[in-house]
Amino acid sequence: MNPISPFRLIFAILFIIGGAVVAAQASEALTKIIIMSAFGVAALAIMALENRTPPQPDINALERQKKRLLYEGRAEAYQDVIDPITDPILLIRNAKVAAANPAAKNFLGHHIIDEDVRVAIRHPAAADRLANPNAEHTGEPILLVGVGSADQRWELRIHALNDGLKLVQLSDQSSRYAAERMRTDFVANASHELRTPLAAIKGFIETLENPDAGADEKTRTRFLQIMYQEADRMQRLVEDLMSLSRIEAEKYQLPSEPVDLAELVSDVKNVFLNGRSKKDHDFQVLLPDNIPMIQGDYAQLSQLLHNLVSNAYKYGHRGKPVSVSVEPNRNSSMLRLSVTDQGDGIAPEHIPRLTERFYRVDKGRSKSIGGTGLGLAIVKHISERHGGRLEINSELGVGTTVSVLLPTIKS
């Protein structure tokens, strides 16, 4: 029953007094009784109606209850705080899960409430700390490997609350660990790529230091030629590494010059036609008139096209044409810049990995024709900086087309 408000009580009393006044004016006793009864019933109805209004939450009572729960160290006191958090959160008491937020239930299973924490989180290092009532919790993270999928990395932090209650926070650090692994792999790969030609150069210098080998004209010329090639490879590698780091450093700066792709294609074509392998391939260009301009970085886009044409020359068949085309899409919002060769093609399983640094389908072949394994990684980064998209289509025995879709300047 809700308490009756004083305002309504006064109103009901005044109503009864009013009834008494009206009844006093009636001449017959029976009429007086009927009038008084009618006013009495009406007054009761007013109070009954008051009692039927929906109960209003008593904020003070709720706060008092919450304070009591907090004081008693009860897990329910924290439920409304932990529920909206997107990281999985558990509350543990006496080595049992006392409460969990929806993210924790989705991750560890909806059955975890009241479960032993060693069963809920199947990780020995974490479970021992959680189950031990005397363990000290500094909030330092514990790395969990193998909880969830095999390549996921979680960090678990324990915070001691009131009365033996422990708050356990899990945060998914998989992408941070993957980025860190990529960085260390990159440094290891780059060092290995540089060490190989350096070791070869040192080896040949040592051989030439021997008076017998050094005096022989033919041997000396051959060794010096190899040393030159290896030094050349190191130089290309260092240049590509520097390009990559420069492009990465600028990746959040939108390029701003208006670039005419027709002019860019013509410049790159001239570089190749004047180069050493000019006779190996026929360089074809397919360009419609009046293509829209794009917003870009001329030097970077020319490096992108240079890398794609260089791959088409390297992996295309000798004597077969290499073609470069520029094609606007239906509403001219994007330009498709494509380079096509008629080479051996690439098996589909390799295609998703080609833009990884140092990934090559055939390492020996790439190295023997001067590849650094960084060309397509550079292309991908330049295309991303320009808000573009890279597409690689290839068929074994037929050839490869690598396209970059670049947004045009809105007129």
**Interface with ligand ADP (CB under 6 A):** 311-312, 314-315, 341, 343, 346, 354, 360-362, 366, 371-377, 400
CB of 381 to ligand ADP, least distance (A): 11
Q: Compare residues 243 and 366 and give the one whose CB is closer to ligand ADP.
A: 366
For the bound state, the minimum distance from the C-beta of residue 278 to ligand ADP, rounded and expressed in Å, comes to: 18
- Compute the distance between CA of residue 337 and CA of residue 384 in angstroms, rounded to an integer: 14
Residue with tokens 């032993």: 116
> What is the H or E stretch that residue 115 is in?
none
CB of 353 to ligand ADP, least distance (A): 9
Nearer to ligand ADP, 89 or 376 (CB): 376
Nearer to ligand ADP, 98 or 374 (CB): 374
Query: Token digits for 102?
Result: 């929806």
Q: How far is the CB of 253 from ligand ADP (least distance, A)?
A: 24
Nearer Cβ to ligand ADP (354/406): 354
Q: Which is nearer to ligand ADP, 137 or 320 (CB)?
A: 320
- Helices 261-273, 298-315: axis angle to 10 degrees equals 50
Shortest spacing between CB 140 and ligand ADP, in angstroms: 41
CB of 251 to ligand ADP, least distance (A): 18
* For ligand ADP, the closer CB: 88 or 375: 375
The phi-psi region of residue 146 (left if phi > 0; otherwise alpha if psi is between -120 and 50; otherwise beta) is left
CA gap 89, 157 in Å, rounded: 10
For ligand ADP, which is the closer residue by CB, 169 or 401? 401
Q: Partners of 166 in the beta sheet?
A: 92, 160
- Cβ 212 to ligand ADP shortest distance, Å: 37
Q: How far is the CB of 136 from ligand ADP (least distance, A)?
A: 51
Contact by Cβ (8 Å): 311, 340:
no
Residue 206 host element (H or E): helix 174-209
- List the structure tokens of 260: 């005419």
Contacts of 52 (CB under 8 A, 6+ apart): none
**Residues 323, 286: contact at Cβ < 8 Å?**
yes
Strands 283-286 and 322-328: parallel
- Bridge partners of 393, per DSSP, are 401
| Distance of alpha carbon 191 from alpha carbon 310, whole angstroms | 24
Of 388, 406, 375, the closest CA to residue 251 belongs to: 388
Query: For residues 166 and 306, which CB has a smaller minimum distance to ligand ADP in the complex?
Result: 306
